[in-house]
Structure 1
Amino acid sequence: MADFDYQWKNLLGKEVLEKEEEKFECNNDRVKEFLHLTGIKPWYKKDSFIKNKTCLDAGCGPGRWTCAIQRLGAKKVDSFDLSEEAIKRCKEINPDAYMFDIWDLKPNPVYDFVLSWGVLHHTEKPREAFTKVASQVKKNGMLHVMIYNKENDWAYDGFRGETCVEKHKYWVTLSDKEKIKLCEDMVKKRRGNIHGWFDALNPTYNWSYSASEIEQWFEEEGFTEIKLKMVKQNINMNGILS
């Protein structure tokens, strides 16, 4: 995935982004963020879906949430991503992290907890990709996804939602400096940070959905006890495979 290889290899090392590096450091702040953003109960709860469990971080990036899952007491965490540069970073905290394409997943329901954070909406066909990650969850296991909320598409100047592919044609004509400048302008106009905006604008696909659409996906795949947590511009949702 060339889009993300460029991002992890170049942007995270640029001076303009040095102050944002800390969000990718593996420490207890990642645990606090993970629990806040997902609403998942921490390790000391009897019904924790992470402590002493086998987990999958599907589309792990540099390993921010792999770190959190490890620190929450997971017995094993498998981490994969299509980006070579992201995996290089993730291997620093999970030596077994590996390059893999989500489309190559075969039904393998062995995981107690599967996370797919900010991944599905960057695939060509998110609904089909959802089936792929859902097929990794064992009975009574949990799947958690984070997906863009279509209610906030207005803030992305056409780069998100139904117009994303057409808008990407404009993005690829820009130089690196012009892309960074555009992200800086978005920070001034909408807040956030440069890395976050680059992450939002750079991919070819930036699909978005309503919470009810994602809930339907969970139901169609046999999940129950579906819970929603809206955080900023994103849908965080999880369910238990019945």
Structure 2
Amino acid sequence: MEMNISEVDFIGQNLAMFCCPRCNGDLVVNQQNILCLGCGHEYVNIEKIPSLFAPNEWGGETDDVTEEIKSFYEKTPFPDYDDFDHVGSLISKAKEGLFARLLDEQIPFGYKILECGCGTGQLTNFLSIASRTVIGTDICINSLKMANDFKQANNLRRAHFYQMNLFRPAFRAGSFDLVISNGVLHHTSNPLLAFKSIASLVKPGGYILVGLYHRYGRLATDLRRFVFGLTGDRMRFLDQRLLNSKIGKTKKNSWFMDQYKNPHESKHTVGEVLNWLQEVNFKFIHAIPKTIPFEPFDGEEELFKQDRLGNLFERFVVNMGMIVTGHKEGGFFTIIAQRTP
């Protein structure tokens, strides 16, 4: 069985894909050291994770929540692993979820995938099993260490993990067939700027998948957050996920902290994201939930085949429906789009 290569070795084998996040210069690898030939900055390993992180340089004009969010997730990694998790249980759990199963079935073998904001790496590790190169990046070393430990323990040699600021990516433009950012952009200071940054990494003809909190679907979560605040975090039975006996205590706590104690979040609509797509020359492919009322998302969905986009009235009806149904997954919606050649 072929063994894992180190994350630094992977950079050395794929130098054309990587760049310095500070100056976009070329990187070189000397033993386990990563050096930029442009600005001379040296990137170090932290807990066996190459730190390709460069801070934002926005000055005082823009509030930067990066360090606040980083500190939060260093203390409460998300989504975390249950104590008994191994590669078999990861596959089983992922395939119990319709969306993850469809992704695995429909993303071609051989794809290069980047997950921006991978957290503890479940999706990155899962998608790498089927002969795809999948890179997970996050700002939190603690989360990335959990992801990498699981990878090493299960010899998932096509998964790779790096610390990175998605506003200052460490990859060349157009390097990936698919870029995923699921539940991340709404925790940044500027979701549109973050979207533009990661969209630049998609190849012409490639895809981007973003998941965001829905402006109306999040209302039930906001109400529960208010109740938890009044009761000292009692009445947790209001969140059905916290009653699920199949979810371990650690993962339940991780979910609770992410959903109800996060220091920063924004909320969005499909219409808003459609405007984002126009700005970066992407075309709409699919939405979950669908943009047409009363059309269920089922096991026959073709995620990367263009679906009909609902008109303004149809999307309004879907938005109103999210007030009632959106709470099931934390008030979340997903958009898949394709970069036009």
Shorter-chain TM band: 0.7 to 0.9
Q: Percent identity?
A: 19
Instruction: State the structure with more CA Rg.
Output: 2
Which of 231, 238, 241 pairs up with 2:336? 238
Structure (1/2) with the larger helix percentage:
1
Check the 8 A contact 1:111/1:136 in 2, yes or no. Answer: yes
1:65 aligns with 2:123: yes
**Match of residue 206 from structure 1:** 265
Which of 65, 74, 82 pairs up with 1:5? 74
Check the 8 A contact 2:210/2:334 in 1, yes or no. Answer: yes
Q: Superposition pairs for residues 1-242 of structure 1, below 5 Å?
A: 1-8=70-77, 21=82, 26=87, 27-32=90-95, 36-37=98-99, 40=102, 42-43=104-105, 48-74=106-132, 76-92=133-149, 93=151, 96-105=160-169, 108-157=173-222, 182=233, 185=235, 187-193=236-242, 194=252, 195-230=254-289, 232=329, 233-242=331-340
Check the 8 A contact 1:215/1:226 in 2, yes or no. Answer: no
Shift of 1:159: 8.9
Q: CA deviation digits over 1:23-64, x for unaligned, max 9?
A: 975421354256x23685544xxxx44421111011111111
Superposed CA RMSD in Å reads: 3.1
Q: Distance in 2 between matches of 1:133 and 1:210?
A: 19
**Helix, strand or coil for the counterpart of 2:167?**
helix
Q: Distance in 2 between matches of 1:220 and 1:227?
A: 18
Q: Distance in 1 between matches of 2:101 and 2:215?
A: 21
Call closer, same or farther: CA 1:24–1:130 in 2, change over 3 Å. Answer: farther
Check the 8 A contact 2:113/2:135 in 1, yes or no. Answer: yes
Letter in 2 for 1:78: I
Letter in 1 for 2:95: K
TM-score (norm 2): 0.55
Q: Distance in 2 between matches of 1:88 and 1:140?
A: 33
Return 5+ residue gaps in structure 1 as ranges. 13-19, 161-166, 172-177
Q: Distance in 2 between matches of 1:84 and 1:97?
A: 10
Q: Distance in 2 between matches of 1:196 and 1:217?
A: 29
Shift of 1:146: 0.8
* Number of residues of Structure 1 aligned to a counterpart in Structure 2: 211
Q: Distance in 1 between matches of 2:276 and 2:175?
A: 20
Shift of 1:153: 2.8
Q: Distance in 2 between matches of 1:122 and 1:203?
A: 8
Check the 8 A contact 2:274/2:284 in 1, yes or no. Answer: no
